[in-house]
A and B are shown apart, each in its own frame.
Chain A
Amino acid sequence: MGIKTNSLLKSLWVFHFGSATCNNCDIEVLDALTPRYDLERFGIQLAGSIRHADVMLVCGFINKKVVPKFKEIYTQMPAPKLVVAIGGCACSGGMFTGSYNFFETVDKIVPVAAYIPGCPPKPEAIIAGVVKLVTALKGSK
């Protein structure tokens, strides 16, 4: 508990971006806010606007219709900005890479700081991933 709170520099605001998703990763992200996992005790909060976010959590894959919107939301994010790919679809496209509506994996569109695989990753995995990311960043300062 002490290690976790020390490893967070500041209160992280995360913005959730769900593209072509089955919603499972999105629900597990929200689940992480609920009493059992309670992300908020680490100071992690869902930001209402991308302009207030430190981290963008991407769920699902980027399909052709969403590409321009996704790029635009990324530019609206204030620096320093981190993108975390959550779930198999965001990490690699999952089983949808063969689809006629598939565009590219997230990391070919924007730089990705962390990948949290799973289908869906459990809330514990999501929290662990975000904490790992922040620890790594703090270590590299």
Chain B
Amino acid sequence: MNDCVNKIKERFGNRLNVFEKSAKRIYIDVKPEDWTEVAGFIFNDLYARYQIMTGTDTKDAVEVLLHFAFDKDGMVVSLRTLVKKPGCEIDSVANMITGAEWIEREIMEILGVKFRNHPNPKHLLLTEDWDGKYPFRKDNV
């Protein structure tokens, strides 16, 4: 197993669930309350490159993925958490990862996830007077 992935495992133990799809694709399941801590470790301590976040609607929760690249190893590590409905709240990482500011705003407006302590929670793509239906929610809340 890759050195960086080992470090993540050592640091967080069973607060995580690591799934190695292949040497280049690692998926790590994490609880919402550990989200910013694990992200911070990967971004700051291991100095991984932030790529993007993905939000997907599922039946009881919105699945949020935070993708990091370890370019030296040709590896992508995707942190995954489930943000439970109906509340749909999780801490923002934008104060730590400046590049994540836009995608959190986007996920807010297309999936209705609230990112706590986001520096600028305005609409990114949709008009300010959008009718409130989240385009990517299958239940269209």
Contacts and interface: CB of A to CB of B under 8 A. Distances in A.
| Interface of B (DSSP majority class) | loop
Interface residues of B, number: 4
B135 interface: yes
Interface in B96-141: 125-127, 135
B26 to A, nearest CB: 33
Interface in A93-122: 100-101
Contacts of A100: 135
A65 B135 contact: no
Contacts of A101: 125-126
A101 B106 CA distance: 14
A64 B109 CA distance: 15
A64 B135 contact: no
A101 B110 CA distance: 12
A65 B127 CA distance: 6
Q: Which of B126, B127, B135 has the most CB of A within 10 A?
A: B127
A65 B124 CA distance: 11
Interface size class of A (residues with CB under 8 A): under 10
Nearest to B130: A64
Nearest to B127: A65
B122 to A, nearest CB: 13
A51 to B, nearest CB: 27
A65 B129 CA distance: 10
A99 B70 CA distance: 35
Nearest to A100: B135
A101 B127 CA distance: 10
Contacts of A65: 126-127
B131 to A, nearest CB: 10
Nearest to A65: B127
Interface of B: 125-127, 135
Interface of A: 64-65, 100-101
Q: Which 7 A-B pairs have the closest CB atoms?
A: A100-B135, A65-B127, A64-B127, A101-B126, A65-B126, A64-B126, A101-B125
7 contacts: A64-B126, A64-B127, A65-B126, A65-B127, A100-B135, A101-B125, A101-B126
